[in-house]
Amino acid sequence: MTDLELRAADARELGAVLAFWATAAENASRPPDTPAALAALHLRDPDALIVAVDRGRIVGTIIAGWDGWRCHLYRLAVHPERRRAGIGRALIDAAESRIRALGGTRIDAMVLDDNPRAHAIWAARGYRRQDDWSRWIKPL
Ligand SMILES: CC(C)(COP(=O)(O)OP(=O)(O)OC[C@H]1O[C@@H](n2cnc3c(N)ncnc32)[C@H](O)[C@@H]1OP(=O)(O)O)[C@@H](O)C(=O)NCCC(=O)NCCS
């Protein structure tokens, strides 16, 4: 963990982030990520995509989205060879710091029901599942 740097992603790193997600992120039950979608996020809110970088290599990511009204966390992922070393925890902490600084008062994360690893880390960081809501979606 000593060389780990947590910071906003640079526009030139977006391709590397997409490649990282292909192997490290939860990719089930969702549309594929595209360069255009990630570029649009970065253009709108360049600080939302936080990367964990170790000696120039991306080893973790999280998106800390803030729309002025609500805060949402997405794309928490840690390199498979670097898990259980506190990187996920550090990413969540960095995301919460950003949202706190922006004035957010509550934060939520999109988590698949059948992803027990994810349940474990969100629970360990103080998040709880909200059972009286479900997500309603409509592809555009
Ligand atoms: C989920 C994920 C991000 C965890 O990242 P990580 O860097 O390994 O997590 P940390 O080392 O910071 O773990 C923090 C705590 O979370 C819990 N935790 C994390 N992974 C766990 C696992 N596989 N089993 C049980 N508990 C786990 C533990 O309480 C852990 O603390 P401990 O190591 O002191 O016991 C990582 O496994 C991952 O990238 N998975 C694939 C993508 C994914 O599912 N993302 C979540 C989308 S919602």
134 part of a folded domain: no
| Residues whose beta carbon lies within 6 Å of some atom of ligand 1 | 24-26, 76-78, 83-89, 109, 111, 115, 117-118, 120-121, 124
Per-residue pLDDT, 29:
83
SS3 per residue for 73-94 = EEEEEECHHHCCCCHHHHHHHH
- Specify if 130 maps to a domain: no
| pLDDT for the residue numbered 31 | 87
Range of the domain at 31: 4-124
Structural domains of the chain, count: 1
Helix 14-24 × helix 35-44 angle, to 10°: 120
d(CA 63, CA 103): 17
Domain annotation covers residue 135: no
Residues paired with 108 in a beta bridge = 72
CATH number at residue 85: 3.40.630.30
- Is 109 inside a domain boundary? yes
Ligand 1 center to 105 CA (angstroms): 24
pTM to 2 decimal places: 0.97
Angle between helices 116-124 and 87-102 (to 10 degrees): 60
Mean pLDDT by 10 residues, the chain (140 residues): 90 98 93 95 98 97 96 98 98 98 95 95 97 92
pLDDT tens per residue, range 24-48: 999 988 888 999 999 999 999 999 9
pLDDT at site 1: 58
Residue 139 lies in a domain: no
